[in-house]
Amino acid sequence: MKILVKDADIFNGKEFIGNGLIAIEDGTIIHCGSGSLPDLWKPDEIIDGNRLLALPGLINCHTHAGMTFTRGYADDRPLMIWLNDYIWPLEARLTADDIYWGTMLGISEMLASGTTTFADMYFMMHRAAEAVKESGIRAVLSTGMIGLGSGVNEKLAQSVDFAVNWRGEADGRISTMLAPHAPYTCPPPFMKKVLDKAEKHQLPLHIHLAETRNEIEEIEKNYGKTPIEWANDLGVFNHPTLAAHCVHLSSEDMHILKEKGVGVAYNPQSNMKLASGTAPVAELSRLGVKVGFGTDGPGSNNSLDMFFEMKAGALLQKLAVNRAEVLPANEVLAMATSTGADILGLKDVGMLKKGMKADLILVDMDKPHFTPTFDPIAHMVYSGKGSDVSFTIVNGKILYEKGVFRTIDVEEVKQEVHIRAKRLIKG
Amino acid sequence: MKILVKDADIFNGKEFIGNGLIAIEDGTIIHCGSGSLPDLWKPDEIIDGNRLLALPGLINCHTHAGMTFTRGYADDRPLMIWLNDYIWPLEARLTADDIYWGTMLGISEMLASGTTTFADMYFMMHRAAEAVKESGIRAVLSTGMIGLGSGVNEKLAQSVDFAVNWRGEADGRISTMLAPHAPYTCPPPFMKKVLDKAEKHQLPLHIHLAETRNEIEEIEKNYGKTPIEWANDLGVFNHPTLAAHCVHLSSEDMHILKEKGVGVAYNPQSNMKLASGTAPVAELSRLGVKVGFGTDGPGSNNSLDMFFEMKAGALLQKLAVNRAEVLPANEVLAMATSTGADILGLKDVGMLKKGMKADLILVDMDKPHFTPTFDPIAHMVYSGKGSDVSFTIVNGKILYEKGVFRTIDVEEVKQEVHIRAKRLIKG
């Protein structure tokens, strides 16, 4: 399959490179930018890129896609009431089929709003993996593990089995991690077992760290250290690590994250909605820590639209440090694309250039809210919305085009989720 | 003209009232809710409301619509550099025709994202008024006045002429205010003249108050009081007043706003983007001060989409007071509709009920990001985007339907703005 995008303006994942051609063959970008193609190269499909902006597909670095079932279920409640009385009881009733349909719904929303890769931490992940495989999206999947209570070793074994069996599947679109949930749910003896498995199977780690003030207090009380120090002292960061949230950080914590090359998933809207706090992303960025964006689960956001996330995340940093010039649009868009891919350990996506996998989106710039067009990059961050995405392409396949899904029966998906949601709230 | 909306779920501006009928005749709602219509009442147009949510059109309480020309022009710069080196020089080159086209572009964006009324403060407002008249939207227009330099009296006279001549025009869709820009640009002798005119012509006031820390310091230095005290002591609040921003408030300031019935326009995204601060809206709301939402101008946002504004505004308050339960979705949606109308002095819009003007929108709930649908009101605030709006109706006329404008040649508008923007940056 050969696709040619003609005359599009291009943001390559790091910077705006002007107008050019993008040629895709067998899932790979074989040309991107100015210049021309060999006369003999004949595309199967041509996309007229006039008034479209091409950019790498957005990378959602932290979510729980199956939580679509909790979207709008119990908003505006204090965190512990929200979790104890609503979210956890509902989640306890989720079946493997629910996970499949809930994840497929999340994938539908993500493809329609320009996300081509998501990092997911949830449970019964083999069903999430099936949804990824069928839909054509790219994902980094992990089973969230609680190291408390009974059956812990069995859960770890299942989690490792999933990670080992599914990595590289779906034409390489699936990669996997091990996901100990958080410092307050994973005691050190359990963490040591997890790290042994990570070492043995060469699996990266995905963990929630330093999300709430409560967590900081609890870890300080139990271990006399910060969550980042706790993780570092256990040796977590000797493995490639994706650390979600990192809201409450000491100066020393930030240096540890930098020194150890930890990737941080910044989830501004979830952190605001749950009143968790403001991650010091402007400072992390200044120090050179790699930060990508995550939406967190649809229960605490309640959207998987990365355009919202970029805008809220940029604006929040300007407010937090009282400087309008921090986190400029180009940096934000790079975080949501090339840096996001980097912190997920994906070497062949996140940039539009020759040899990379063809994961890209085409955004319709011919809208009132993109007029005038002094700066298309600023428009992506400050004026854009997921609905501006005209084409979503993953691994060289067009999965979504102007409201139409090519691999998903979205009517069936919505219907299934509506029916299942009614069952889930009845208990 | 008679329009019937059948089988829609309805938020009436205060609360969700379930499924029902909305009947519109000659611009007025003659029935809203359950029940039935007289057999003899035959609509000219029927809208199937299945999977649509009907709500009052969103009320944008503070913007400068003509600033669409500055959208994305010079983002991520410190405030004074942004203003001095970019915005003000560009604005100085705006012609009356530019104001018309720039405002028409803003109106296009607003109608397409569900806004039916906007409160505007800009200049050469007769041309903005023409755009309002032709497009069919509702607006509260005012000429921003600087009380410094030469020609001040002449500008005041022109501003009063505009306000007196245009109020009630366009089938009553236009109302007007007097708009002294801000405490730091309007010395007390000028303010007294403005207030005399407001009294004489019974005109409400629209003013920027307490937006930045700089303003607080400057007014404290020059007058020994806060901007709110300054305005109150001058007698501003003896007139109906729309106060934009109110970011930096003392406890006494908040009580003055409450006691005097001042309406506050909360512009969370502009205040974040310009690093101005966080308005204490949770506290204002607790005290019973009337607060609506504003987008501010497209130069400092850069969007006129009120859905973004609601979400960012709600999330920011939860973060600021560290309580996930403040500013719940129902309150936010009421602020953006009924309270917004209230603080603009519009008695016959902002609510869907018999006898009100038919200003309403119909939102397509049949989307992945609105699935499941436990709570359609939470969905409006936390999951919605302007592009979810299927119908925008003002004064009983359908102005926008599923991407199509009925009163605006949007291709011409975009083209005019592109051409004019190129001229404007050349200087």
**Is-contact B236 B271, C-beta < 8 A?**
no
Name the residue type at position B150.
S
Residues facing A133 on adjacent strands: none
For the stretch A356-404, pLDDT in tens is 999 999 999 999 999 999 999 999 999 999 999 999 999 999 999 999 9
Q: Is the pLDDT of residue A65 over 80?
A: yes
Measured between alpha carbons, how far is A193 from A199 in angstroms, rounded to an integer?
10
**Which residue in chain B is spatially nearest to A329 when comparing CA positions?**
B76
Give me chain A's average pLDDT, please. Answer: 97
Test A68 with B274 for CB contact under 8 angstroms: no
Residue B93 touches chain A, beta carbons under 8 Å: no
* Predicted TM-score (pTM) above 0.80: yes
Other beta carbons within 10 angstroms of residue B199's beta carbon come to 12
Inside any domain, residue B154: yes
Q: Is the pLDDT of residue A254 over 70?
A: yes
Task: Indicate if A239 and A110 belong to the same structural domain.
Answer: yes
DSSP state of B53: E
**Token output for B68:** 């669409």
Test B418 with A373 for CB contact under 8 angstroms: yes
Res A79: pLDDT: 85
Angle formed by the axes of helices A251-260 and A227-234, nearest 10°? 40
Residue with tokens 């204090």: A78
For the stretch B174-213, pLDDT in tens is 999 999 999 999 999 999 999 999 999 999 999 999 999 9
CATH number of the domain where residue B25 is located: 2.30.40.10
How near does any CA of chain B get to the CA of A385, in Å? 8
Task: Calculate mean pLDDT across residues A148-176.
Answer: 97
Measured between alpha carbons, how far is B401 from B300 in angstroms, rounded to an integer?
28
- pLDDT band at residue A17 using 50, 70 and 90 as cut-offs: very high
Task: Indicate if B336 and B387 belong to the same structural domain.
Answer: no
Residues of B in Cβ contact (< 8 Å) with A372: 68-69, 71-73, 417-418, 421-422
Angle CA(B228)–CA(B230)–CA(B235) in degrees, nearest 5?
95
Q: Chain B neighbours among A 356-375 (CB < 8 Å)?
A: 366, 368-369, 371-375
**Token output for B172:** 């009553």
For the stretch A402-413, pLDDT in tens is 999 999 999 999
Q: Of A265, A273, A345, A354, which is closest to residue A306 (Cα–Cα)?
A: A265
Test B275 with A387 for CB contact under 8 angstroms: no
Task: Indicate if B314 and B366 belong to the same structural domain.
Answer: no
Inside any domain, residue A350: no
Res B139: pLDDT: 99
Residue A272 touches chain B, beta carbons under 8 Å: yes
**Which residue in chain B is spatially nearest to A405 when comparing CA positions?**
B368
How near does any CA of chain B get to the CA of A228, in Å? 23
Residues of B in Cβ contact (< 8 Å) with A78: 323-325
How near does any CA of chain B get to the CA of A245, in Å? 15
Task: Indicate if B392 and B294 belong to the same structural domain.
Answer: no
**Is-contact A350 A341, C-beta < 8 A?**
yes
Q: Chain B neighbours among A 181-240 (CB < 8 Å)?
A: none
Q: Is the pLDDT of residue A123 over 80?
A: yes
Question: pLDDT truncated to tens, each residue of chain B (427 aa)?
Answer: 999 999 999 999 999 999 999 999 999 999 999 999 999 999 999 999 999 999 999 999 999 999 999 999 999 998 889 999 999 999 999 999 999 999 999 999 999 999 999 999 999 999 999 999 999 999 999 999 999 999 999 999 999 999 999 999 999 999 999 999 999 999 999 999 999 999 999 999 999 999 999 999 999 999 999 999 999 999 999 999 999 999 999 999 999 999 999 999 999 999 999 999 999 999 999 999 999 999 999 999 999 999 999 999 999 999 999 999 999 999 999 999 999 999 999 999 999 999 999 999 999 999 999 999 999 999 999 999 999 999 999 999 999 999 999 999 999 999 999 999 999 988 6
Task: Indicate if B127 and B190 belong to the same structural domain.
Answer: yes
Task: Indicate if A199 and A273 belong to the same structural domain.
Answer: yes
Best of B84, B369, B404 to disrupt the A interface (most A CBs within 10 Å) is B369
Res B426: pLDDT: 83
Provide the number of structural domains found in chain B.
2
For the stretch A263-315, pLDDT in tens is 999 999 999 999 999 999 999 999 999 999 999 999 999 999 999 999 999 99
CA B40 to chain CA centroid, Å, is 38
Residue A95 touches chain B, beta carbons under 8 Å: no
Task: Indicate if B52 and B66 belong to the same structural domain.
Answer: no
B33: Cα within 13 Å, side-chain hemisphere? 9
Task: Indicate if A248 and A367 belong to the same structural domain.
Answer: no
ipTM above 0.85, yes or no: yes
Residues 6+ apart with CB under 8 A from A180: A145, A147, A186, A190, A191, A194, A205, A207
Instruction: Mark which of B318, B343, B368 sits at the end of a domain.
Output: B343
Inside any domain, residue A223: yes
Residue B131 touches chain A, beta carbons under 8 Å: no
Q: Chain B neighbours among A 6-65 (CB < 8 Å)?
A: none
Give me chain B's average pLDDT, please. Answer: 97
Inside any domain, residue B412: no
Residues of A in Cβ contact (< 8 Å) with B388: 387
Res A80: pLDDT: 87
Inside any domain, residue B212: yes
Inside any domain, residue A261: yes
Q: What is the DSSP string of A94-126?
A: --HHHHHHHHHHHHHHHHHTTEEEEEEEESSHH
DSSP state of B339: I
- Could you tell me where the DSSP H helices lie in A358-409? 376-378
**Token output for B92:** 């100085």
For the stretch B216-261, pLDDT in tens is 999 999 999 999 999 999 999 999 999 999 999 999 999 999 999 9
**Is-contact A138 A61, C-beta < 8 A?**
no
CATH number of the domain where residue B172 is located: 3.20.20.140
Residues facing B243 on adjacent strands: B207, B264
Q: Of A249, A167, A237, which is closest to residue A201 (Cα–Cα)?
A: A167
Residues 6+ apart with CB under 8 A from A73: A86, A87, A90, A299, A425, B372, B374, B375
Q: Is the pLDDT of residue A87 over 70?
A: yes
Task: Indicate if A293 and A200 belong to the same structural domain.
Answer: yes
Test A323 with B275 for CB contact under 8 angstroms: yes
**Which residue in chain B is spatially nearest to A278 when comparing CA positions?**
B319
Test A318 with B274 for CB contact under 8 angstroms: yes
Residue B175 touches chain A, beta carbons under 8 Å: no
Task: Indicate if B270 and B376 belong to the same structural domain.
Answer: no
**Token output for A150:** 């009974």
Angle CA(A36)–CA(A363)–CA(A358) in degrees, nearest 5?
55
Best of B216, B308, B382 to disrupt the A interface (most A CBs within 10 Å) is B382
Task: Indicate if B361 and B324 belong to the same structural domain.
Answer: no
Task: Indicate if A261 and A157 belong to the same structural domain.
Answer: yes
Residues of A in Cβ contact (< 8 Å) with B373: 72, 418
DSSP state of A361: E
**Is-contact B417 B46, C-beta < 8 A?**
no
Residues of B in Cβ contact (< 8 Å) with A285: none
Range of the domain at A293: 58-343
Q: Of B32, B29, B30, which is closest to residue B10 (Cα–Cα)?
A: B32
Residue B71 touches chain A, beta carbons under 8 Å: yes
Measured between alpha carbons, how far is B322 from B330 in angstroms, rounded to an integer?
19
For the stretch A180-211, pLDDT in tens is 999 999 999 999 999 999 999 999 999 999 99
Inside any domain, residue A424: no
Res A427: pLDDT: 65
How near does any CA of chain A get to the CA of B292, in Å? 19
Test A73 with B375 for CB contact under 8 angstroms: yes
Residue A423 touches chain B, beta carbons under 8 Å: no
Find the Cα–Cα–Cα–Cα dihedral B106, B306, B23, B20, rounded to 10°. Answer: 160
Residues of B in Cβ contact (< 8 Å) with A318: 272-275
Measured between alpha carbons, how far is A374 from A72 in angstroms, rounded to an integer?
37
Inside any domain, residue A348: no
Name the residue type at position B42.
K
Q: Is the pLDDT of residue A426 over 90?
A: no
How near does any CA of chain B get to the CA of A203, in Å? 32
**Helices first, then strands: H and E counts in chain B:** 16, 18
Test B368 with A325 for CB contact under 8 angstroms: no
Q: Chain B neighbours among A 387-406 (CB < 8 Å)?
A: 387-388
